[in-house]
Amino acid sequence: MSLRLGDLAPNFVAETTEGTIDFHEYLGDGWGVLFSHPADYTPVCTTELGAVAKLKSEFEKRNVKVMALSVDGLVDHAAWIKDINETQHTTVNFPLIADKDRNVSQLYDMIHPNANENFTVRSVFVIGPDKKIKLIITYPASTGRNFDELLRVIDSLQLTAKYSVATPANWKHGEDVVIAPAIKDEDIPEKFPKGHTKIKPYLRTTPQPNI
């Protein structure tokens, strides 16, 4: 199954380190991040799970719940989490799915045979409150993810979902944004009372509207 942006995120019920979880129920009316790991006891994954644990408060500020997946079982997960907590100086504080039967991995197309027939690639899915997929990123197993960048993207997704704007290259929270081309010049003052700059007819910027 090949998922694309805008598709409904497939629901599933899975065993996790925090009990049996129905994915859609777990997300509730908030945002979600589902991300996969090639296997337990792998070095890059260990650093990634530690990084996400340290950023949990940042995800919570954005009303985002995170859930990780590995193709190993709960016993291995429990022992591995002890290693993560020890080596990364944190406490894993989110569910880790046990996907030994590969059900969730296959549902989300996380196993790429040309990369590895047995293990998941480093997939990331950001899911909106409507349970639709807003972002898909796939990394090779050898490359760790930048979770600060993921938070930046979530900031952009949440902003652009509510306002008729887009975020320019390298945008960060608090910086100017781009007014959507569909907005007519004469409608800008009412929609964006903070003012705007017209650089080109198609390139108009305004201060971030939600701060």
Q: Does residue 82 register a pLDDT over 60?
A: yes
- 60-77 per-position pLDDT tens digit: 999 999 999 998 899 999
Torsion of Cα atoms, 106 then 133 then 36 then 67, to 10°: -120
Residues forming the active site? 45
pLDDT for the residue numbered 120: 54
Q: List the domains of the chain with CATH numbers.
A: 13-144 (3.40.30.10), 163-206 (no CATH)
Percent above pLDDT 70 for the chain? 95
pTM (predicted TM-score): 0.92
pLDDT for the residue numbered 119: 54
- 36-53 per-position pLDDT tens digit: 988 889 899 999 999 999
Judged on CB neighbours under 10 Å (0-12, 13-18, 19+), 97 is buried
Place of tokens 């945008």: 171
